[in-house]
């Protein structure tokens, strides 16, 4: 009988420990998660992938300007075709070269007209026509203006009708 009493005491305390262990573990997990959130939210702990060195090493953007190019309307095809291409764009230039590029606009429009008149009307129906035409025109404009002056060609209107 004395052995039975000892076993029942050990059984009750063992059961009590397991009953307290589960809620204690859940409470510990919740508190740890809450502390982790607080520390990351307030900046005490750095969040992986968002370190502060990213902002320190960031370069300042160069000062740029946009030079509008006169709209160009080109007839496509030979003779009896009534198709036309309307093209309007702006040049992204480094600001120190804005006046130089603006002075070269007549020559740039001439290059645009020359290339767009030579383009086959059937090739403009392809899905990659705008990308290909933009790359070709940008390279030709950079040849006219000189290296480092024109950064990009921004196509505002490219309509074939």
Instruction: Report in angstroms the alpha-carbon separations of 109 from 13, 21, 92, 125.
Output: 92, 80, 15, 23
For residues 55 and 155, give the distance between their C-alpha atoms in angstroms, rounded to a whole number.
32
pLDDT in the model for residue 52: 55
For residues 43 and 11, membership in a common domain is answered with: yes
For residues 124 and 159, give the distance between their C-alpha atoms in angstroms, rounded to a whole number.
10
More confident residue, 19 or 153: 153
pLDDT in the model for residue 112: 96
Query: Averaging pLDDT over each range in 54-63, 64-73, 122-131, which range is the top one?
Result: 64-73
Confidence check: pLDDT of 49 > 90: no
For residues 34 and 74, membership in a common domain is answered with: no
For residues 89 and 132, membership in a common domain is answered with: yes
Confidence check: pLDDT of 28 > 80: yes
For residues 52 and 73, membership in a common domain is answered with: no
Contact 56, 87 (CB under 8 A): no
**84-115 b/e (C-beta count within 10 Å ≥ 16 → b):** ebebbbebebbeebbeebeebeeebeebbeeb
For residues 36 and 84, membership in a common domain is answered with: no
The two three-digit tokens of residue 1, written as one number: 């009988």
pLDDT in the model for residue 59: 77
Q: What is the mean pLDDT of the chain?
A: 85
Contact 130, 155 (CB under 8 A): yes
Confidence of residue 142 (pLDDT cuts 50, 70, 90): very high
For residues 18 and 94, membership in a common domain is answered with: no
Confidence of residue 144 (pLDDT cuts 50, 70, 90): very high
Domain hosting residue 42, numbered range: 2-56
Contact 161, 125 (CB under 8 A): no
Total number of domains in the chain? 2
pTM beyond 0.85, yes or no: no
Q: Kindly report, residue by residue over 82-140, the tens digit of the pLDDT.
A: 889 999 999 999 999 999 999 999 999 999 999 999 998 888 889 999 999 999 999 99
pLDDT in the model for residue 153: 97
Sequential DSSP letters for 80-149:
T---EEEEEEEEEEEGGGHHHHHHTHHHHHHHHHHHHHHS-GGGGGSTTHHHHHHHHHHHHHHHHH-TTT
């Amino acid at each position: 009988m004395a052995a039975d009493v000892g076993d029942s005491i050990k059984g009750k305390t063992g059961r009590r420990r397991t009953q307290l262990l589960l809620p204690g573990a859940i409470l510990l997990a919740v508190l740890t998660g809450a502390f982790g959130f607080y520390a990351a939210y307030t900046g005490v702990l750095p969040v992986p992938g968002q370190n502060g060195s990213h902002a320190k090493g960031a370069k300042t953007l160069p000062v740029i300007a946009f030079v509008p190019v006169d709209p160009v309307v080109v007839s496509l095809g030979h003779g009896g075709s009534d198709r036309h291409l309307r093209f309007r764009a702006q040049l992204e230039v480094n600001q120190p070269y804005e006046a130089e590029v603006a002075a070269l606009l007549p020559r740039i429009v001439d290059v645009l007209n020359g290339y767009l008149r030579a383009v086959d009307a059937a090739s403009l129906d392809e899905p990659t026509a705008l990308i290909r035409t933009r790359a070709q025109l940008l390279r030709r404009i950079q040849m006219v203006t000189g290296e480092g002056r024109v950064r990009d060609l921004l196509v505002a209107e490219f309509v074939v009708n």
